[in-house]
Each structure stands twice: as C-alpha cells, then as structure tokens.
C-alpha cells in the first residue's frame, strides 16, 4: 500500500507525464533494448519504429498516475494488456527490468527536475503497478489452453484476398485444440532471416473461424506501405511458410468478444464494422451469431481498398445468406467515399451493439464518429491492429 506522501508525489507528476510521457517511454525502450537485447525476441520492432508502443506505454503510465489512489479503476485495461503479455509469454521476471529502465528514462528526460523524491516515489509506484499486472496475468497463465509455445503444422494455405492468406494449422499429437471464443487471436513465433535478422519475431493474428474441425484458422495480410518493404513476419508467412511446414503458437488470447447476453435476443442489432483484414475476428463473430441465432438483426459493414483486397468475400456471402434480417455494405475506397459520421448516422442505429476492427487510424476515426453520434461507450467494442492503449484518451499530449 503506497503512502499518502508517495501518492501525492505521483499525482503531482501528472502534468509532466502529459507533456513528456511519450518522450520518456521512447527513451525507455531505446535504453532497455540496447542493453537487454534478449528482449528483442519479444518486443515488436515495427511498433517501436512507428511509435505505437512508446505511446501505448506512456498512456498506461499516465493512466496509472491519474488513478494511483485506486488502481482497480484500470483493471479492464490491465486485463486487455495482460492478454497480450500472456500471449507473448512475458513473465514476472521481466517486470524488474522494465522498472529499472523506466526510472532511468524518467531521470534522463527530466534531468534536474527528477528529484530523488520523485524517483523513489515512482519506484514504489511501479512496484505496486507491476504487482497488479503480475496478479492478473498469473490467473491467465493458469488457465491458458496450453503452456508456452507449441508446434503446429500448416495443413491449408488459402488466398482470401489479393494480399491476405488464411492459414489452417493443426497441433502435433497430444495437444487438443480448445474451443475458440469468437474474436480471439493467436500469437505466432517465427524467426525470419531477412536483413540478417537475429531475433524471434512474434505477431498476433485474429482467428477467422470458431470451427476447429480441421485446425485453427487465422489470416495474415502482407504488410506493405508505399515507401517500405513488406512486413518482416507477414512476408515470411506469405512467401516461405507452406503446407507441411511447422510454426510455433501460444494459446488463443483476447478480450474482444460478443456480448453473450445479446446473442439470443433480437431487440439490439449487431453491427460488425471492419476495415481490410480487420474483417477476420468479425467473421468468427458472424459465424457464431448465425450458428446461435440467425434471426437477430445484423448490419455488416466491410471497407477495403478495392474489390481485389476485400477479404473472405465468398465466406461472408455464405454466412450473410443464412441471416434472416441483414443489411450489408461493402465499401471500396478506390471508388467509394470512406466511412464517415454521415454514413454511420444513416446506417448504424443508436441502440446497436457495435464491434469494430481495423488499423489504428480507422479505429480511432470510427470511435470518434460514434461518440459524436452519442453511442454509449459500453456499446462500442473494438480491437485495433496495434497497441490498444494508443486509442485510449487520458490526456497524453501528442507531438506534431
């Protein structure tokens, strides 16, 4: 239990964290990963480069400072982050390393303003925060479907869009595939050799079907940008992993799931809103809804760059054909206007239960638009392809 004096010091640092939080966490990652290179086997270097991970950590630290009197307020966020930590196999022994370099980063960025009292207070506070995470993650490790990383064999590889493959993988003998919760993801542990890469590369991929008869299905989009080469892991999976090959997975994870109490009723429409390969977890949700109550009103909204990049076209059509009350919208941004507030106002009833998945910019745009339209926070559920804490508004000042 932190003393009143310690909590007062932490709360007094909130304005500093609002101003310099991302700078502190950027320095933190640079220092820690340069001196503990073994952690490069865990941390996503792409998220470091793009700034997503430093922003997510800065948001988490700021939120903890603002709620230092009652950290239980943060439990929903802790559980969500804990799911990722468990999937990546982050263990209690990693937390002291993080704490050490977080304090070093605070000292470096703040300079003389980082008094011994502030550093000591944050050292105590970090211990308290770490204990919350470790406790939540302990339960997750105790209930995971299988421990650590297990080998799976690729039994199917199907192109479901011009830039997306769906993989189906089966475990080696002795491991039973668990029941899949629609919306969950698996984590793939690979070791690409491109650009003389020396480290394991871990990536989360949404599970595309609740049917595990033939194995676990997940989708991988080839990550490319106008000025950058293909993503390290997605290129490896697209170009080098084929039927018969073995890859390692950790157990399914995630808290992006349907509101079970609404599945069997028909008063609240289900809205599934996807961009690009973000359709993947929503596809498993649609499958689950159709299997359990095809009469529920469903609004399916799928945005993609073009007809060619529209993923799972055939499977989506087959599932929607089984729905008794469905409205469908397919937006191709090479010929159609992007989804905006006017579109959402026209097509998404205010009493809907909304599930969104896509890139971080898409997610933030959809969430902001729905809030302007006065949709309640508890009716908006989302899973971004990137650190979710970057979408949480706690007052962190963004640098231009």
Report, as residue numbers or ranges, the catalytic residues. Answer: 95, 137
Would you say the C-alpha torsion 110, 115, 117, 123 has a positive or negative sign? positive
Cβ-based neighbours of 168, under 8 Å, separated by 6 or more: 154, 155, 156, 157, 158, 214, 215, 216, 217
| Token representation of residue 220 | 């991988």
Give 259's DSSP letter. Answer: -
Per the CB < 8 A criterion, the answer to whether 137 and 85 are in contact is yes
CA distances from 242 to 35, 255, 301 (A): 36, 30, 32
Give 397's DSSP letter. Answer: P
Q: Round to whole Å and give the CA distance between 392 and 77.
A: 9
Q: Round to whole Å and give the CA distance between 160 and 221.
A: 10
Cβ-based neighbours of 163, under 8 Å, separated by 6 or more: 221, 222, 224, 309
| Token representation of residue 267 | 């008063």
Q: Round to whole Å and give the CA distance between 232 and 45.
A: 10
Pairing mode of beta strands 353-358, 164-171:
unpaired
Cβ-based neighbours of 100, under 8 Å, separated by 6 or more: none
Q: Round to whole Å and give the CA distance between 328 and 392.
A: 29
Exposed, middle or buried, 99 (CB in 10 Å: 0-12/13-18/19+)? middle
């Amino acid at each position: 239990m932190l003393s009143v004096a310690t909590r007062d010091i932490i709360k007094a640092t909130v304005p500093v964290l609002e101003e310099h939080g991302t700078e502190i966490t950027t320095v933190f990652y640079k220092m820690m990963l340069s001196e503990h290179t073994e952690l490069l086997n865990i941390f996503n270097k792409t998220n470091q480069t793009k700034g997503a991970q430093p922003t997510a950590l800065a948001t988490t630290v700021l939120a903890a400072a603002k709620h230092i009197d009652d950290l239980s307020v943060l439990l929903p966020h802790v559980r969500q982050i804990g799911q990722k930590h468990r999937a990546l196999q982050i263990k209690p022994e990693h937390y002291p390393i993080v704490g050490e370099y977080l304090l070093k980063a605070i000292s470096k960025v703040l300079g003389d303003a980082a008094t011994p009292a502030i550093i000591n207070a944050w050292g105590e506070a970090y211990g308290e925060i770490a204990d919350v995470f470790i406790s939540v993650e302990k339960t997750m490790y105790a209930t995971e479907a299988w421990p650590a990383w297990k080998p799976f064999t690729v039994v199917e590889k199907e192109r479901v869009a011009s830039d997306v493959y769906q993989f189906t993988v089966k475990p080696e003998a002795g491991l039973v595939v668990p029941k899949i919760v629609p919306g969950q993801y698996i984590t793939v542990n690979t070791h690409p050799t491109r650009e003389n890469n020396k480290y394991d590369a871990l990536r989360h991929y949404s599970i595309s079907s609740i049917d595990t008869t033939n194995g676990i299905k997940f989708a991988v989009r080839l990550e490319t940008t106008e000025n950058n080469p293909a993503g390290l892991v997605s290129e490896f999976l697209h170009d080098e992993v084929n039927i018969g090959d073995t890859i390692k997975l950790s157990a399914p994870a995630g808290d992006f799931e349907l509101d079970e109490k609404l599945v069997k009723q028909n008063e609240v429409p289900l809205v599934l809103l996807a961009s690009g390969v973000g359709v993947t977890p929503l596809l498993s949700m649609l499958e689950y809804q159709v299997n359990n109550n095809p009469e529920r009103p469903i609004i399916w909204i799928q945005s993609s760059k073009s007809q060619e990049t529209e993923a799972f076209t055939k499977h989506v059509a087959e599932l929607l054909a089984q729905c008794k009350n469905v409205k469908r919208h397919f937006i191709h941004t090479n010929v159609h206007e992007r989804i905006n507030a006017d579109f959402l106002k026209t097509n998404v009833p205010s009493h809907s239960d909304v599930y969104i998945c896509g890139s971080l910019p898409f997610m933030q745009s959809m969430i902001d638009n729905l809030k302007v339209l006065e949709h309640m926070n508890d009716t908006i559920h989302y899973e971004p392809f990137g650190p979710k804490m970057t979408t949480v508004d706690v007052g962190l000042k963004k640098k231009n």
